[in-house]
Amino acid sequence: MLLEYMKRYEKRTIVSSILMAVIAILLIIEPETMLNTVMLILGIGILIDGLISVIVYIFTNKEQRAFSNSLVEGTLALVIAILILTNKKIMISIIPIIIGSWIIIKSIVKLQLALSIRSINEKSWILLMISAIITLVLGIIILVNPFSTMVTITVLGGILLLATAVIDIIDSICILSKLK
């Protein structure tokens, strides 16, 4: 029984890994298309969620409606969905801006820490200073060109996903061959 379960599990793993590999190849070959597709799916999902919230509010009885946030949540979700669906490129570029800003803030804090450590004659301050400067430059690069950064991250994600899928397929084939 366990042997049969393991065989079925590994066969499903191979199928899902092949699907992962296909998605990974698409991420590598067509990163912009895949980003737009993801934003489209996200926008549609939020739109559906917003519609459901508004409908739930409409059909909620009066006593419960007084304490419900469904109308506000639904309306906000609908607005966000419309923004995403009508401005996919802008929404895609916002993600790296947030990440780039966060990296810059962390780098400045790290720079301050490096200077503080330097003032107490600790020798490790120079490594901290170098890493802070490197991350600061990366943060600035992300902010200067957010869409290219997102495409590059998508391609890298696709490469990592493809590597994972190939490893999973090899693992499953090895396990299946030992189970026979």
* Distance, CA of 14 to CA of 42 (rounded, Å): 27
CA atoms within 13 A on the CB side of 81: 17
On whether the CB atoms of residues 174 and 17 are closer than 8 A, the answer is: no
pLDDT per position as a tens digit, 44-65: 999 999 999 999 889 888 888 7
The count of structural domains within the chain is: 1
Residue-wise pLDDT for 96-115, tens only, equals 888 889 889 999 988 988 88
Structural domain including 58 reads: 2-179
pLDDT, tens digit (0-9, with 9 covering 90-100), for 60-89: 888 887 777 888 999 999 999 999 899 887
Contact (Cβ atoms closer than 8 angstroms) between residue 158 and residue 31:
yes
pTM of the model: 0.62
Q: Measured between alpha carbons, how far is 120 from 157 in angstroms, rounded to an integer?
A: 42
Residue type, 70: S
